[in-house]
Amino acid sequence: MRYQAQARVFTCSISDFFIKQADPWRASAWKVIRETPSLTYLILTKRPHRILECLPPDWGRGYPNVWLGTSVGCNLTMWRVDALRKVPACVRFISAEPLLEDISGKLNLDGIHWLITGGESGSGPHSEFVYSEKNWRLYFDPNKSGNGRRTMKLEWARKLLDMSRAAKIPFYFKQVTSSQQHANMSALGQVYREYPAPPTGRIWLPDDDETKAKLKLASPISWTHWPWNPWKGCIKVGPECMFCYIDRPSCGGGMFNIIEETHSLNNPYKWAKQITGMSLGASK
């Protein structure tokens, strides 16, 4: 698929791209990433110490369309930033989310190109961040209930905003501590949804609802019941194509659903005959 605009792909979001169990298939994933330069892959890991040994042979100073990041929500995990800094990459980023305590005193942004932060989301009660070497499980589940969220103070996020401004890097504030994701994104005085510039000089596909709605209303692309066929594939002709239902999981995930419906594979031949007949009829 070809995009006129650059799209971001949050890679392996419910796992970890650099986990040992991914070693057997990671080379295939690198191949896909290398062959899709119109997509920018955001790879966030809690295992930055494994990145160097897992990079492809032609990595060099980094693929332009791959951003490498690590999660740092408390001072205990600050070592991850140093590990990430050792990896050659076009963009290195930090996700300080959920932000569990003030990390501004130990955080070093040298060699970091993007900073994300926000509070924890999820059901259950609020609680304070707790860590004890003797009872380390409280670090993961302070309520001993399998749910709940640890409270972020806005002053901690403001300090990270100030640090990003001093370092002249983009800043993204995701949310306050809440049961809902993206809650009160303007809590720091305005909405901060900043990104590093996309590679290849393209523009980002918009990710806010207002811009998406405007594109949808202004789209010149007409409705069709036959937007794709297995011979020519799907070409994304503009940012409006983000609204195409063919790529939605609810429609079976796109092209794979259509390919499996073998009874429809001969439809293009029928269309060609219909068009030819119409043309001949119009010429008489």
Mean pLDDT of 101-117: 95
DSSP sequence for 104-167? TTT---TT--EEEE---B-SS-EE-----STTTHHHH-TTSSS--EEPPPHHHHHHHHHHHHHH
Is residue 2 a part of any domain in this protein? no
Buried/exposed code over 169-184 (b: 16+ C-beta within 10 A; e: otherwise)? bbbbbbbbbbeeeeee
Which domain-ending residue is among 169, 201, 233? 201
Domain count, the chain: 2
**Dihedrals φ, ψ of 27, to 5°?**
-60, -40
pLDDT band at 205 (very low <50, low <70, confident <90, very high): low
Mean pLDDT (the chain, rounded):
76
Say if residue 183 is in the same domain as residue 243.
no
pTM reported for the whole predicted model? 0.69
| Residue 81 scores a pLDDT above 90 | yes
Q: Which of the two residues, 257 and 262, has the higher pLDDT score?
A: 262
For 237-254, how does the pLDDT look when each residue is reduced to its tens digit (9 = 90+)?
A: 555 555 554 554 444 444
| Residue 279 scores a pLDDT above 50 | no
Give Cα 23 to chain centroid, integer Å.
21
Mean pLDDT of 143-172: 86
Q: Give the range of the structural domain holding residue 70, as residue numbers without chain letter.
A: 7-201
Which domain-ending residue is among 137, 168, 201? 201
Say if residue 161 is in the same domain as residue 267.
no
Say if residue 257 is in the same domain as residue 146.
no
For 12-59, how does the pLDDT look when each residue is reduced to its tens digit (9 = 90+)?
A: 888 899 999 999 999 999 999 999 888 899 999 999 999 999 999 999
